[in-house]
Structure 1
């Protein structure tokens, strides 16, 4: 007799995991046949809950997952899981849509979905990088400070030589740490002619 085994995963949001759990219950997955991973990313292949779910399914069973991105977030990962299910005669249900990865059309559909899942992750990473860049420009993000261009460094040195700004002022003006300001000034001083070692 075939059985339904469920799997759900979320990276951080516990509420999201609860919602996925409810979806699996609505798709007729028994409570004791649901395996969960919390706090793990889809790109992390070492997921104990997923390993347990894959170990629990047998030939003729169906692995039920709310969404493809909960199962795999890369084409190689999705293909490995699909190959494993195919070899064992296990069907896959994504959000209630059932298909057999052993079927040529089903396998193609699986690969297409995996491609979009990977694309979504890449988009998220790109948006995160862009958001961090904007936050740095507005001085709202602490952490590793961006490097100054040659033109910015030259401008910083000129501002320092004018005597109108303190080191703290320059650090705030250029959105860098005080240590960065000192490093820039030191580099420009070392680059000065040997005959003027005491110059600013």
Structure 2
């Protein structure tokens, strides 16, 4: 039986598209029926059904193919675990057009170096995101969810409630908000 190419593609968010990765895998010789995918799952999330199916589909002598290492794993331990699974099955790993044999010492070393860089890149992205959010928060640009009613509307809702002529349901209807929003508006002034 001929050795097969098994492909895997992943994108982190539902807004991203797998088309470019699938096209890259096809150009590497992977047939569309042998491309497994995960959509909306991060590389740090180990529960990836598409990856599990792809790993189950490979047999001895096959080549497990991903367009780039960061599509496979974003941490060294996860990449190492996957490489160990491939090695135990006698499967080679292709990152783009480069094929690595996890049982070969040089292939194993190079794969570990690449996994270290993928994890480093992931850590840098996480660090930059936290720094950006801290800067935005310090500038007052990251304040969380804004109130549904303007200050003027909140004052009027409180004034109307104080008269005793309006129930919470009435106030919610007048201001086109939910009853919980009316309660939160009143509670906000009491504290």
TM band (smaller chain): 0.7 to 0.9
Question: Structure 2: how far apart are the matches of 1:120 and 1:99?
Answer: 21
Q: CA deviation at 1:96?
A: 1.0
Write the mapping of 1:32-181 to structure 2, written as runs, cut at 5 A: 32-143=33-144
Aligned to 1:6: 7
Decide whether aligned partners of structure 1 residues 95 and 14 sit closer, same or farther in structure 2, where only a CA change above 3 A counts: farther
Decide whether aligned partners of structure 1 residues 81 and 45 sit closer, same or farther in structure 2, where only a CA change above 3 A counts: same
Q: CA deviation at 1:143?
A: 2.7
Give aligned pairs, total.
148
Structure 1 gaps, min length 5 = 145-178, 184-200
Question: Structure 2: how far apart are the matches of 1:14 and 1:142?
Answer: 24
Deviations 1:115-147 (A, max 9, x none): 111101110011001100111122111239xxx
Q: CA deviation at 1:16?
A: 4.2
Q: CA deviation at 1:37?
A: 0.3
Q: CA deviation at 1:13?
A: 5.9
The normalised TM-score by structure 1 is: 0.70
Structure 2 gaps, min length 5 = 146-186
Confirm or deny: 8 A CA contact 2:100 2:111 kept in the other structure. Answer: no
Question: Structure 2: how far apart are the matches of 1:98 and 1:108?
Answer: 13
Question: Structure 2: how far apart are the matches of 1:17 and 1:135?
Answer: 31
Per the alignment, in what secondary structure is the counterpart of residue 94 of structure 2?
Answer: strand
Deviations 1:36-57 (A, max 9, x none): 0000000000100000000000
Q: CA RMSD in A?
A: 1.9
Q: CA deviation at 1:15?
A: 4.7
Confirm or deny: 8 A CA contact 1:66 1:95 kept in the other structure. Answer: yes
Larger deviation, residues 15-24 vs 97-106: 15-24
Runs of 4+ in 1 over 6 A off after TM superposition: none
The normalised TM-score by structure 2 is: 0.73
Question: Structure 1: how far apart are the matches of 2:73 and 2:16?
Answer: 20
Aligned to 1:18: 19
Question: Structure 1: how far apart are the matches of 2:31 and 2:80?
Answer: 27
Question: Structure 2: how far apart are the matches of 1:12 and 1:63?
Answer: 23
